[in-house]
C-alpha cells in the first residue's frame, strides 16, 4: 500500500490553475522531491497534502485512509515550513513538546521523546533557548525536531533550506537525508534547486504550471527527460530544431540517426555528451565563450551563425577563445510536440526506442 | 467531484455586522425621505422631499452651519499654523527636551477627555469664557494637537533626506528645497491630518455643549435640540443626512490614503 | 566640535524650541495647568484658621450615595463595554487575518464604517432604531413578536451606542496586534494537532496580550469620560460621570465639586493611562530602531 496516494488532484485560484489533475503515488520510506520553477504549484501541492489548502477535485490517501477532508490537526503529516514558524514565546523545549502535550502524554514520556529528537538533530542541551536566540540553521533543526517528534507518517518540507547559505544548506541537507534514511520515514520536499533534488531524492517530480511533467529517479529524469521543459530545467541542455528525413537528421554538419517519421523535431544534447575534438576532422565550430569552473570548462561553440551549443570539457585541455574545434554529439534526445520521442540508448547503438510513459503509478514498488 | 467551499463563519459575521451597523443608518436615511410614516408600518406610507424644504428654510439651521463652518475653519487654520512648524522642528531639529515635549502631546490621551474639559471649564467659568466663541476655539484647538503634531512628524521623518540633499546639490536654497521637495512629499499626510481636524471639529459635541452653550450654537448642538425637543422626526433625519456630508468626504479620502494596519499601529498597538 | 559648529547647534536648538513653544504652551496651559489647579483646589479646605490641606471634598464624594451610584454606573458600563468590545472585535479580527474568506473585504468595510459616523448622528440613529416605536419595535411587531423593553434611557442604551462607536478603533488595534502572529505560526500549530480553540489559547493570545491591553486601555480612557452618548441615550438617575460632571458645573454651579469628580476619574484611569502611554512610547522606540 502506498504511503501517500494522490489522485486527480486539482486546485484553482480564480483563473489560474495551481494544480491540474495530479496523480502521484509514494511508497513507504520514499523521499520524493517536488521540483519546479516559481509558480509551478509545488508548494500548493505540498500544502494540500498537509491540509492547509483544500483541493477543488481529487483525493489524497495516506496509508489507505482518505484524508482529503481532514483538517491539518487531524492528518498524520508533519510540516517543516520555509520560515521555520517557531513560536517565539516558547522555548525550544516548549516548541517541541507542544504537540506532545496536546496529545496528553505524561511528563516522563515527553522528556524522553524530546531528548531523543534533540539528539537526532544535534541540539542536545538547547532546551531552554528561545528561538530568536538561535541561528538560522538551528532554527530549522528545531522546526524539524518539532515535526519529527510526533512520528508523522509523511514528513513535508517546504523549501526548508532556502534562507540558509550554501555550506549550511548542504550540511543540513545531508543531515536530513541521514535522518530520513535512519527512520525510514516517507518524505516529500519542495525545492526549486535541482542540486538538492538530484542529491537527495529517490524520485523527482518535476512540475510546471500546475502539471506534473515527469516523475522518476534522478538518473531517469536527467538522462531521459520526458519533455523539453524537463530537459531544459534540469541540468544544462542545448536544444535545436532539425528536420528528420529517412530516419536521419543533420546536426550542424553531422548526420545523426534518428529513427522517427519524417518531419520537424527538436534535438537535445547534454553538454557532457558533446565531445570536443581540438583539431578534429569534419565540421568545426568556433569557441565563442570559455568559462573555467575549476572542476571543468564550459565551452560554448557556434557551428553556424546563431546556433550555439554548450559543451563540457574536463580541465587539462587548453581551449582558447575563438579556436576552431571539432565536435561530435555522442548522445541525443529527440522531441516531437514537446514530448520525448527518441533517445540514444546507453550502449550507444541507435535503435528505436519508444517514448517512456510518464510514470504515475510505479510498478516497481510493491505494497 | 467538485468541492463547494462555503464560508459560513464569514457569512454569519457579515450578516450580523450588516444588521447592527447598517440598520440604524438606513433607518435614518429612509426617514429623511419620508413624508408620512405611521406606526406600525414597516415602510413609510408616503415618500417625499417636503421636509428637505422645511429644514433648508430654517434660519437656525443656516446659523448653526455658519457657526460650525467658521469654527472648524478657524480651529483647523490655527492648529496648522501652530502645529506644523512644530512638527517640522520635532522631526528635523535636535533641541534639549525634544523627546519630553513630544511625548507631552500624549498627555491629552492620558486623561479621560471629558474630565479634562471639566477642569478647563471650571477655570473658564471664573474667567467668564463660558458661552464665548473663542473659549470653544481654544479648547477644540487643544484636542487637535495630537493629530496635527504626530501625523506630520511621521510624514516629515519619512521624507528621504537624500532627495533633499540632491536638491541642495543642484543648487537650491534651503527654502526652495522645502517648498519644492519636502512639502510635496508630506502633502498627503498633512492634508489627511487637516481634513481629519476639520471634520472632527465640525462634529465636536462635548466642548461645544459644555463651553459654548447656549450662545455658541454649532451644528451638533442643534442636532441635540432636534433630538430632545423636536416632535417632527423628519427634521432630525434630514439634518442627519445633510450633516453626514463631511464624514462622507473623509471616507472617500481615507479609502485612498490610510490602510487599516497603519491606523491601528498609530493608535499604539 | 568647533566654536562655529557649537554656535550653529545652539542656534538650531533655539529655533527648535521656539517652534515647538506654541503647541507645548497650549498643552501646559490648557491641560497640565488646569489639572494641577484642580488637584490643588480640591485638596484645599476651609478651616477656621484659613485655607489648608484636607480631603474633605473627596470624603464628601465618597460618602455621598448619589455620587457613588453615578461612579459605580460608570465603572459598570465601562467594564461591560470593554468586555463586549474585545469579545466582538477578536473573532472579527481573527476572521479577517487568518481566513481567506470571501466576505473579508465586505466585513472590514462594514466594521470600520462607524469611524465615519459622528457620535451625535449615531445617537439620533440609535434612538430612532432602538427607541419606543423604533425600527426594532416595528420589525418585531411585523413578525408578530411582542415588543421588548427599549434600551433607550437605560444603561444599555449607552452601552450599545458606545460599543457601536468604539468598535472600529478596537478592531484596528487588535488587528495590528494580530499582525505580529504569522500565518505560518498558526499553520504549524494546527500541523502538530492543535484545534482552533487551542491555537487561540496557546499561540495567538500569548502573542497579542499586549495589543489587547492597549485596546482595553484606549477604550477605557475613552469610555470613562464619555458624554454625548450617555447623556442622550442613558438614564438620568443614576447617570454616568460625564453628564454628572456637566450638570454639577453648569446646572448646580459647584465648580469645586466638579473638579473633585474629574480628579476622581483621573485617578481611577491613572493605571490604564500610564500603561497606554508606556505602550505607545515603547512602540515608537521599537519602530524607530
pTM, full prediction: 0.82
C237-257 pLDDT, tens digit per residue, is 889 999 999 899 888 888 888
Q: How many CA atoms within 13 Å lie on the side-chain side of A228?
A: 14
In chain C, whose CA is at the least distance from the CA of A95? C189
Q: Do A57 and B2 touch (CB under 8 A)?
A: yes
Q: Which residues of chain C have a CB within 8 Å of the CB of B203?
A: 118-121
What is the rounded radius of gyration, in angstroms, for the C-alpha atoms of chain C?
24
| Assigned fold of C64-288 | MetI-like fold (1.10.3720)
DSSP per residue, A24-70: EEE-TT-EEEEE--TTSSHHHHHHHHHTSS--SEEEEEETTEE-TT-
Q: What does the pLDDT read at residue C1?
A: 53
- One pLDDT digit (tens) per residue for chain C, 289 residues: 566 666 666 677 788 888 888 988 988 888 889 999 989 888 888 777 777 888 888 888 899 899 999 999 999 999 999 999 999 999 999 999 988 788 888 898 899 889 889 999 999 999 989 888 888 888 888 888 887 888 888 889 999 999 999 999 999 999 989 988 999 999 999 999 999 899 999 999 999 988 898 899 989 988 988 899 999 998 888 899 999 998 998 888 888 889 999 999 999 988 888 888 888 777 666 655 4
Question: β-strands A77-80, A31-35: how paired?
Answer: unpaired
Q: If contacts are CB pairs under 8 Å, which of residues 131-190 in chain C contact chain B?
A: 133-135, 137-139, 141-142, 164, 169, 172-177, 179
Of chain B, the percentage scoring pLDDT greater than 90 comes to 16
Name, in order, each residue with C-beta under 8 angstroms of B252's C-beta and a sequence gap of 6 or more: none
* Alpha helix segments (H runs only) across C28-155: 33-42, 56-63, 65-98, 104-112, 119-130, 135-142
Percent of chain A with pLDDT over 90: 48
Distance from CA of B264 to the nearest CA of C (A): 5
Query: How does pLDDT run across B23-36, given as a tens digit for each residue?
Result: 999 989 888 888 88
Kindly state the cell numbers that stand for C207.
Answer: 502573542
Residue B163 and residue B168: Cα distance in Å, rounded? Answer: 9
Q: What is the pLDDT of residue B143?
A: 87
Contact list in A for residue C195 (CB cut-off 8 A) is: 73
Determine whether the interchain pair A81/C203 forms a contact, defined as Cβ–Cβ distance below 8 Å: no
pLDDT at A349 exceeding the cut of 50: no
Q: C111-114, long-range: CB within 8 Å, 24+ apart, which pairs?
A: C111/B17, C111/B21, C111/C167, C111/C168, C111/C171, C112/B260, C112/C168, C112/C171, C112/C172, C113/B21, C113/B22, C113/C168, C114/B21, C114/C164, C114/C165, C114/C167, C114/C168
Q: Which residue has the cell 499586549?
A: C210
Contact B243 C37 (CB under 8 A): no
Mean pLDDT (whole number) for A149-177: 91
CB contact under 8 A, C92 and B116: no
Task: State how far the alpha carbon of C184 is from the alpha carbons of A85, A350, A352, B69, B89, in Å.
Answer: 5, 52, 51, 51, 42
Paired sense of beta strands A248-251 and C44-47, if any: unpaired
How far off is chain C from B107, nearest CA to CA, in Å? 8
Q: Find the helix packing angle between B113-127 and B133-157, rounded to 10°.
A: 140
C contact test, residue of B55, B121, B122 with most C CBs within 10 A: B122
DSSP type of residue C134: S
Q: What is the pLDDT of residue A188?
A: 96
Number of residues written out for chain B: 269
A59 and A25 in contact (C-beta within 8 Å)?
no
Query: Which residue is associated with the grid cell 480612557?
Result: C221
In this structure, what C-alpha cell is assigned to residue A68? 482529503
Nearest-CB residue to C107 (from B10, B28, B108): B10
Spatial distance between the Cα atoms of A278 and A313, rounded to a whole number of angstroms: 11
Please, what are the domains in chain A?
4-223 (3.40.50.300), 236-343 (2.40.50.140)
Distances (CA, A) of A150 to A86, A185, B35, C107: 16, 12, 70, 38
pLDDT over 70 at B181, yes or no: yes
Q: Which of C20, C36, C282, C227 is nearest to B145 (CA)?
A: C20
Report whether B177 contacts B164 (CB < 8 A): yes
The pLDDT of residue C10 = 67
Phi, psi of A86 (to 5 degrees): -75, 150
Cβ contacts of residue A198 below 8 Å, gap of 6+?
A204, A218, A222, A234
Helices H, strands E: what count in chain A? 8, 21
> How far apart (Å, rounded) are the C-alpha atoms in residues C57 and A48?
69
Residues with Cβ within 8 Å of residue C284, at least 6 apart in sequence: none
| Complex ipTM over 0.95 | no
- Name which residue leads in pLDDT, B267 or A35: A35
Is residue A225 within 8 A of residue A268, CB to CB? The reply is yes
Grid coordinates of B156: 516629515
What are the CA-CA distances from residue A65 to residues A28, A62, A74 (Å)? 14, 5, 12
Q: Which domains does chain B have, with CATH numbers?
A: 59-266 (1.10.3720.10)
Question: What local confidence, expressed as pLDDT, does residue B267 receive?
Answer: 52
Query: Cα torsion for C143, C148, C153, C159, to the nearest 10°?
Result: -90
Q: Which residues contact A146 (CB under 8 A, 6 or more apart)?
A: A78, A86, A95, A96, A98, A99, C188, C192
Is residue A301 within 8 Å of residue A287, measured between CB atoms? Answer: yes
Amino acid at each position: 500500500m502506498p504511503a501517500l496516494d494522490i489522485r486527480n488532484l486539482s486546485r484553482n485560484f480564480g483563473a489560474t490553475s495551481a494544480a491540474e489533475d495530479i496523480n502521484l503515488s509514494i511508497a513507504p520510506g520514499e523521499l520524493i522531491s517536488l521540483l519546479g520553477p516559481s509558480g509551478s504549484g509545488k508548494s500548493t501541492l505540498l500544502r494540500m497534502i498537509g491540509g492547509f489548502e483544500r483541493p477543488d477535485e481529487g483525493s489524497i490517501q495516506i496509508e489507505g485512509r482518505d484524508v482529503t477532508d481532514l483538517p491539518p490537526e487531524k492528518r498524520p503529516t508533519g510540516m517543516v515550513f520555509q520560515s521555520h514558524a517557531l513560536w517565539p514565546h516558547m522555548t525550544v523545549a516548549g516548541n517541541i513538546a507542544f504537540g506532545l502535550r496536546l496529545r496528553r502524554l505524561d511528563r516522563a514520556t515527553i522528556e524522553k521523546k524530546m531528548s531523543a529528537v534533540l539528539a537526532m538533530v544535534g541540539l542536545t542541551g538547547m532546551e531552554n533557548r528561545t528561538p530568536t536566540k538561535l541561528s538560522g540553521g538551528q532554527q530549522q533543526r528545531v522546526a524539524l525536531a518539532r515535526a519529527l517528534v510526533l512520528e508523522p507518517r509523511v514528513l513535508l518540507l517546504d523549501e526548508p533550506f532556502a534562507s540558509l547559505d550554501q555550506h549550511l544548506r548542504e550540511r543540513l541537507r545531508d543531515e536530513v537525508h541521514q535522518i530520513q534514511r535512519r527512520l525510514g520515514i516517507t518524505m516529500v520536499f519542495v525545492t526549486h534547486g535541482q542540486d538538492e533534488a538530484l542529491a537527495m531524492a529517490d524520485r523527482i517530480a518535476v512540475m510546471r504550471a500546475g502539471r506534473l511533467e515527469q516523475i522518476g529517479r534522478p538518473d531517469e529524469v536527467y538522462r531521459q527527460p520526458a519533455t523539453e521543459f524537463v530537459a531544459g530545467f534540469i541540468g544544462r541542455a542545448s536544444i535545436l530544431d532539425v528536420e528528420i528525413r529517412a530516419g536521419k537528421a543533420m546536426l550542424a554538419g553531422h548526420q545523426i540517426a534518428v529513427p522517427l517519421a519524417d518531419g520537424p523535431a527538436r534535438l537535445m544534447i547534454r553538454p557532457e555528451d558533446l565531445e570536443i575534438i581540438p583539431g578534429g576532422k569534419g565540421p568545426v565550430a568556433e569557441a565563442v565563450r570559455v568559462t573555467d569552473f575549476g572542476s571543468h570548462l564550459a565551452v560554448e561553440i557556434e557551428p553556424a551563425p546563431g546556433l550555439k551549443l554548450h559543451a563540457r570539457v574536463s580541465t587539462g585541455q587548453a581551449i582558447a577563445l575563438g579556436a576552431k574545434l571539432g565536435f561530435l554529439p555522442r548522445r541525443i534526445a529527440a522531441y516531437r510536440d514537446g514530448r520525448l520521442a527518441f533517445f540514444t540508448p546507453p550502449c550507444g547503438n541507435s535503435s528505436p526506442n519508444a517514448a517512456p510513459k510518464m510514470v504515475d503509478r510505479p510498478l516497481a514498488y510493491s505494497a | 467531484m467538485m468541492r463547494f467551499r462555503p464560508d459560513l463563519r464569514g457569512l454569519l459575521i457579515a450578516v450580523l455586522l450588516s444588521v447592527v451597523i447598517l440598520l440604524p443608518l438606513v433607518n435614518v436615511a429612509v426617514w429623511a425621505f419620508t413624508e408620512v410614516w405611521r406606526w406600525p408600518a414597516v415602510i413609510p406610507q408616503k415618500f417625499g422631499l417636503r421636509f428637505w424644504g422645511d429644514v433648508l428654510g430654517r434660519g437656525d439651521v443656516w446659523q448653526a452651519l455658519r457657526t460650525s463652518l467658521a469654527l472648524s475653519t478657524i480651529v483647523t487654520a490655527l492648529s496648522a499654523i501652530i502645529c506644523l512648524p512644530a512638527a517640522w522642528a520635532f522631526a528635523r531639529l535636535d533641541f534639549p527636551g525634544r523627546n519630553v515635549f513630544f511625548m507631552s502631546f500624549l498627555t491629552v490621551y492620558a486623561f479621560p477627555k471629558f474630565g479634562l474639559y471639566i477642569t478647563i471649564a471650571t477655570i473658564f467659568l471664573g474667567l467668564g469664557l463660558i458661552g464665548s466663541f473663542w473659549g470653544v476655539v481654544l479648547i477644540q484647538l487643544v484636542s487637535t494637537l495630537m493629530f496635527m503634531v504626530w501625523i506630520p512628524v511621521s510624514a516629515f521623518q519619512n521624507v528621504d533626506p537624500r532627495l533633499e540633499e540632491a536638491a541642495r546639490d543642484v543648487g537650491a536654497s534651503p527654502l526652495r528645497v522645502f517648498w519644492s521637495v519636502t512639502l510635496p512629499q508630506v502633502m498627503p499626510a498633512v492634508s489627511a491630518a487637516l481634513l481629519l481636524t476639520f471634520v472632527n471639529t465640525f462634529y465636536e459635541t462635548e466642548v461645544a455643549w459644555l463651553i459654548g452653550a447656549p450662545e455658541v450654537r454649532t451644528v451638533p448642538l442643534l442636532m441635540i435640540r432636534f433630538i430632545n425637543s423636536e416632535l417632527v422626526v423628519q427634521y432630525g433625519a434630514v439634518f442627519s443626512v445633510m450633516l453626514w456630508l463631511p464624514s462622507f468626504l473623509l471616507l472617500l479620502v481615507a479609502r485612498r490614503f490610510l490602510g487599516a494596519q497603519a491606523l491601528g499601529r498609530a493608535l499604539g498597538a | 566640535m568647533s566654536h562655529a559648529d557649537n554656535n550653529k547647534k545652539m542656534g538650531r536648538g533655539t529655533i527648535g524650541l521656539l517652534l515647538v513653544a506654541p503647541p507645548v504652551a497650549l498643552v501646559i496651559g490648557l491641560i497640565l495647568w488646569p489639572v494641577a489647579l484642580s488637584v490643588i483646589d480640591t485638596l484645599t479646605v476651609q478651616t477656621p484658621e484659613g485655607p489648608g490641606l484636607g480631603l474633605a471634598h473627596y470624603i464628601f464624594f465618597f460618602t455621598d450615595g448619589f455620587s457613588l451610584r453615578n461612579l459605580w454606573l460608570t465603572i459598570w458600563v465601562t467594564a461591560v463595554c470593554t468586555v463586549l468590545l474585545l469579545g466582538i472585535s477578536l473573532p472579527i479580527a481573527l476572521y479577517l487575518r487568518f481566513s481567506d474568506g470571501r466576505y473579508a473585504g465586505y466585513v472590514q468595510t462594514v466594521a470600520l464604517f462607524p469611524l465615519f459616523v459622528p457620535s451625535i448622528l449615531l445617537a439620533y440613529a440609535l434612538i430612532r432604531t432602538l427607541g419606543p416605536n423604533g425600527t426594532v419595535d416595528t420589525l418585531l411587531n411585523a413578525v408578530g413578536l411582542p415588543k421588548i423593553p427599549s434600551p433607550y434611557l437605560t444603561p444599555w442604551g449607552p452601552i450599545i451606542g458606545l460599543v457601536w462607536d468604539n468598535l472600529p478603533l478596537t478592531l484596528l488595534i487588535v488587528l495590528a496586534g494580530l499582525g505580529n502572529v504569522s500565518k505560518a505560526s498558526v499553520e504549524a500549530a494546527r500541523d502538530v494537532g492543535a484545534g482552533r480553540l487551542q491555537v487561540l489559547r496557546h499561540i495567538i493570545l500569548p502573542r497579542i496580550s499586549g495589543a489587547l491591553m492597549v485596546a482595553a486601555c484606549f477604550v477605557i480612557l475613552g469610555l470613562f469620560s464619555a458624554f454625548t452618548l450617555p447623556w442622550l441615550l442613558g438614564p438620568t438617575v443614576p447617570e454616568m460621570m460625564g453628564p454628572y460632571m456637566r450638570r454639577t458645573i453648569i446646572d448646580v454651579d459647584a465648580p469645586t465639586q466638579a473638579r473633585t469628580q474629574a480628579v476622581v476619574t483621573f485617578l481611577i484611569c491613572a493605571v490604564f493611562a500610564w500603561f497606554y502611554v508606556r505602550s505607545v512610547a515603547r512602540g515608537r522606540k521599537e519602530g524607530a530602531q
